[in-house]
Structure 1
Amino acid sequence: MENKREENPQRKKKVELIIRNHMIWSMGAGLIPVPVADFFAVGAIQLDMIRQMCKLYEIDFKEKDGKAVVSALTGAGLSRLGASAAVKFVPGMGSIVGGVTMSVLSGASTFAIGEAFKKHFETGGTFLDLDTERIKKKYDDLFEKGKKMASDIQEEKKATGKSYSDIIAEKADEPFSEKVEEERGTQDHDQVIKKLKELAELKEKGVITEQEFEELKKGILKGN
């Protein structure tokens, strides 16, 4: 049974910024040239998005539950994302073609997850009453919309050379540079992507373990 939250324009602006920010970070992470590493980076970004949304709506967030929900929502899309990551194994153009495809799908998936959770939270929902099947249907419907948005952004970026954030800012009602969360501070999204790329390369070279990779990745996404 839905119990719609009181209308809050300021909260609405903030949650839209959270979704926009993470959609952009996901698209950038999708361009990481290391297969599989980009997949995990996008998952961490999506989880961070839900964490920030929970904080905004004053809802208890549990990482284990968050991971389970993200996995359930994106399950049908894993084959699409996985196929894009696999293309990167192809010598020569693999990294470029796979990266562009992964970038669009990653942005679409993040947008769909964010919008699906926003609708759930706005109607008074929490993690305790989360109907996975119902929210999954919303995710599936929103994924196609997100894919078109991400594709348009990708094409504009290629045609103009603008950054993802500049393109989104031009389409939004307020500057993308507005700070969403204190914990992220003023950390630029390009720096986040750069750090994730460097971290992925260290893991692939065996310099750091999988566990160390996960811990360091969390620190980067939290702005530490």
Structure 2
Amino acid sequence: MSEFKDVNQERGKHAETIIRNHILFSMGAGVIPLPVVDIFAVSASQLDMIRQLCKVYDQDFSESQGKAIVSSLTTATLARLGAGSLAKLIPLVGSFVGSVTNAVLAGASTYALGHVFKIHFETGGTILDFDTKRLKKLYDEQFEKGKKVAEELRKQQEAKRKAAQEAAPVPTTPGETSDENPDPTTVVDKLKELAELKKEGIISDEEFEKMKKKLIGE
């Protein structure tokens, strides 16, 4: 009995790590400056999270079923993400506001999806008996919690960015100026940079996936 409990606890911890990693990745995808591309990137991250959670709970993963579940539960969220994505087309302010909004919404949605699946699997459910109508209420409840979690993560990342900027060495050579745009030091910034490199063809899809997994600690 004790061993069974220990196994469940380990599974739960592993699942929480997977969810948190994908919240960060989804938030990074949410700030991709390209409208629509950001939404596809978030959806891909969420589907990958479901695949990994299925593996943790010894469930057979069905990509088609996973896509259907994500689509069914996140319809309203995707509409809001779409509005934020289009806002990025507005020069300067629109891009900033759209990115911040989408980062939090993407993180909250991923948090909600992850915990809905975690709870479903831990109560004996499978991906094949996933009742989206019944679990939609749970998703909505978890989404509200997820917004607070995502906002807190965003603030933490912003604080790290500012700390890194303040810690940057001050140039001593006369006439030399400090770098106003230091190398990204947060997960979100690095994911955004990787997405840009992939878009420009500098790195391949395979290289992007390898670097993404290394970055989020999978």
Asked if structure 1 preserves the Cα contact closer than 8 Å seen for 2:65 and 2:128, the reply is: no
Unaligned ranges ≥5, structure 1: 1-5, 164-187, 208-214
- Structure with higher Rg: it is 2
SS in 1 for 2:129: coil
Asked if structure 2 preserves the Cα contact closer than 8 Å seen for 1:26 and 1:45, the reply is: yes
1:133 maps to which residue? 133
1:197 maps to which residue? 196
Structure 2 Cα separation of the partners of residues 42 and 60 of structure 1:
22
Structure 1 Cα separation of the partners of residues 58 and 72 of structure 2:
23
Structure 2 Cα separation of the partners of residues 197 and 141 of structure 1:
34
Q: TM-score, normalised by structure 2?
A: 0.75
- AA at the equivalent of 1:68: A
Structure 2 Cα separation of the partners of residues 22 and 92 of structure 1:
28
Asked if structure 1 preserves the Cα contact closer than 8 Å seen for 2:28 and 2:191, the reply is: no
- Return closer, same or farther for 1:86/1:54 CA change in 2, 3 Å cut-off: same
How far residue 96 of structure 1 moved from its aligned partner, in angstroms, is: 1.4
2:145 maps to which residue? 145
2:110 maps to which residue? 110
How far residue 97 of structure 1 moved from its aligned partner, in angstroms, is: 1.2
Asked if structure 2 preserves the Cα contact closer than 8 Å seen for 1:196 and 1:220, the reply is: no
Runs of 4+ aligned residues of structure 1 deviating over 4 Å after TM superposition are 188-193, 221-224
Structure 1 Cα separation of the partners of residues 114 and 193 of structure 2:
23
Q: Deviations over 1:6-57 (max 9, x none)?
A: 5411111100000000001111111111111111101000000000000111
How far residue 162 of structure 1 moved from its aligned partner, in angstroms, is: 6.9
- Return closer, same or farther for 1:57/1:219 CA change in 2, 3 Å cut-off: farther
- Return closer, same or farther for 1:28/1:162 CA change in 2, 3 Å cut-off: farther
Report the number of matched residues.
183
2:180 maps to which residue? none
2:209 maps to which residue? 220
Pairwise CA RMSD: 2.6
How far residue 78 of structure 1 moved from its aligned partner, in angstroms, is: 1.6
Unaligned ranges ≥5, structure 2: 164-186
Q: Deviations over 1:63-82 (max 9, x none)?
A: 11111110001012122111
What fraction of aligned residue pairs are identical, expressed as a percent? 51
Structure 2 Cα separation of the partners of residues 90 and 192 of structure 1:
23
- Return closer, same or farther for 1:189/1:68 CA change in 2, 3 Å cut-off: same
